[in-house]
Amino acid sequence: MVFSTSIFIYLFLPITLLIYYIAPKKSKNFIILLSGLVFYSWGEPIYVVVMLISTMIDYFAGLVMNHFEGKKLPRKLCLIVSVVMNLGLLGVFKYSGFIAENINAIAGSQIIDINNMNFFGIDFLPMNMLPIGISFFTFQSMSYSIDLYMGNVKVQKNPISFAAFVTLFPQIVAGPIVRYDDVAKELDDRTITIDLIYDGIIRFIIGLSKKVLIANSIGALWTAVKSTDISQVSVVSSWLGILAFTFQIYFDFSGYSDMAIGLGKMMGFHFPENFNYPYLSKSISEFWRRWHITLGSWFKSYVYFPLGGNRKGMPRTIMNLAITWFLTGVWHGASWNFILWGSLYGVVIILEKLFLGKWLQKIPAVFCHIYTMLLVILGWVLFDTADLPTAFAYAANMFGAGGTPFIDSTAMYQISTYGITFIICIIGCTDLPKLAVEYLKKKLPLLINYGGIAGLMGMFVMCAAYLVDQTYNPFLYFNF
């Protein structure tokens, strides 16, 4: 099920919240579990089993580790089993097809049937299956076992409460990646107030508007450009297309995070923030401190720091960064595009740590912004093209090496059609709207109190009107 659909907004959400609010306190986690299973199984009734398997792995791992409290070896073995089994689920469902394709390519023949997972005539599972959000819920569930082993959290003995943590529907398929420690206290005891529900509704509408009114609108341009043969796309159109995706993925993903955080508040939870105006960054290192914050935090806590972080000298730091960013690319998807995308970010961050960061501090901020956004935009070319040859051809075309005109009538039409949308996107991805609201709150509080509500209702009505003609508009990060 998708947040930005009529069936979620008008049927699933009100019914779920009504039952949740009137249910006794002891039953609320069961309602969360049940609603999460319904939410996830709505589109993928079979793959809900995968999520439940991941949940059970870490729940029982927690019980066993708690049983062997103070005994390092059995606890470590239990952690290894948990991590291997969770990564095994990811490997089978997300990466087996990619691995099989490359084995076939190296062998020069189809020794593995990708569609039927047939290996030398032996049938296993189909390799073209990808449960929605598997990278999110496995990382979330696995973090509990790791934190428990490290002594950062206490064991959760109630299976309903632990399952509620994993299946909490607001963030089950696309984040934020909520660690057990983030919600441990609220799982056992949370207070739902009118103010919290009100704040949640506002945050949800803002996120819905980002997705429906901005991301979907500007994304139509990228869809049109991407579906056109690159030899027919002018230099200007190629820039307009990837700029459109640059804004689309931000408003789509940050919109989902806003909606998830808002829904969490409606249910009494406080999820961590996932974005902090990343396109205002003045370095790639800063960009990744502002973009998909919970993923960066996860890799820092469970990969980079355990490897040694920056505590064992520069050569070891470089190696740790390289491993972390390679795995970040792999996490995003099973393709050479994602592997190269993550690895290149790792290279740039290493260079910034070595010398580039000091150089950036000495030049005007505007050039730092240009440097950062240029690399981010080129990164998005790798991120959302079909394969490496397509990505390289598209990037070459952006710089006039594709033999296409600099500008043509199509580009002029795109500018005239999407010009205002681009302006809205540019303003919307900065903190200017937030600063304006804060200023008006001080100067004209009544205008903000009443006008703000009217504005939000207006945005909701526009979203509702848009959704009437839309049957399915998934979020981009559902694929991860």
**pLDDT tens sequence across 355-407:** 999 999 999 999 999 999 999 999 999 999 999 999 999 999 999 998 899 99
- Is residue 129 domain-shared with residue 107, that is, in the same domain? yes
**204 falls within a domain:** yes
Specify whether the CB–CB gap between 146 and 80 falls below 8 A. no
- Torsion sign across C-alpha atoms 302, 306, 311, 314: negative
Question: In the β-sheet with 112-113, what is the strand arrangement from edge to edge?
Answer: 112-113, 118-119, 122-123
**78 and 206, same structural domain?**
no
The CA distance from 241 to 136, in Å, is 28
The mean of the pLDDT values for the chain is 91
pLDDT one-digit tens code per residue, 193-243: 999 999 999 999 999 999 999 999 999 999 999 999 999 999 999 999 999
Distance CA 124, CA 188 (A): 41
Instruction: Say whether both 147 and 246 belong to one domain.
Output: no
Let me know: does 181 contact 147? Beta carbons within 8 Å.
yes
End-of-domain residue from the set 163, 190, 217: 190
Handedness of CA 94, 97, 103, 106 (dihedral sign): negative
Q: How many CB atoms are closer than 10 A to CB 23? A: 14
**Residues recognised as catalytic:** 332
31 close to 19: Cβ distance less than 8 angstroms = yes
Residues 352 and 221 in one domain: yes
172 and 276 housed in the same domain = no
Q: For 113, which DSSP code?
A: E
- Pair (325, 392) in one structural domain: yes
183 & 262 share domain = no
Residues 6+ apart with CB under 8 A from 149: 65, 75, 76, 78, 79
Verify that 153 and 186 share a domain, yes or no: yes
Report the domain count for the chain.
2
Contact 72, 134 (CB under 8 A): no
Residue 361 covered by a domain: yes
124 vs 472, more confident: 472
Averaged over 294-322, what is the pLDDT?
94
Question: How many Å apart are CA 193 and CA 206, to the nearest integer?
Answer: 20
Do 246 and 364 reside in the same domain of the chain?
Answer: yes
Q: What pLDDT, on a 0 to 100 scale, did the predictor assign at position 120?
A: 45
| 215 in the same domain as 139 | no
Which of 8-12, 45-49, 124-128, 160-164 comes out lowest in average pLDDT?
124-128
Structural domain includes residue 33 = yes
Using 50, 70 and 90 to split pLDDT, how confident is the model at 122?
very low
- Which residues, listed in sequence order, are joined to residue 112 by a DSSP beta bridge? 119
Query: Using CA atoms, how far apart are residues 137 and 189, in angstroms rounded to an integer?
Result: 23
Q: Is residue 477 part of a domain?
A: no
Q: Strand 118-119 vs strand 122-123: parallel, antiparallel, or unpaired? A: antiparallel
Whether 480 is covered by a domain: the verdict is no
Q: Is residue 473 part of a domain?
A: no
Q: What pLDDT is attached to residue 421?
A: 97
Residue at a domain's end among 190, 220, 251:
190
> Which secondary structure element, helix H or strand E, spans residue 73, and what is its range?
helix 72-90
How far, in Å, are 75, 131, 181, 187, 191 from residue 156 at the CA level? 16, 26, 11, 10, 20
Q: Are residues 309 and 239 in the same domain?
A: yes
Residue 42 to residues 1, 2, 133, 279, Cα–Cα distance (Å): 6, 9, 14, 35
Domain termination residue (choose one: 140, 173, 190): 190
The pTM of this model reads 0.92
With respect to residue 42, please indicate whether it lies within any of the assigned structural domains: yes
Q: Supply the range of the domain harboring residue 441.
A: 196-467
Looking at the fold, whether 180 and 235 belong to one and the same domain comes out as no
Q: What is the DSSP letter of 480?
A: -
3-state helix, strand, coil in the chain (%, to 5): 75, 0, 25
Lowest mean pLDDT across 166-175, 253-262, 281-290: 166-175
In a domain, 18, yes or no: yes
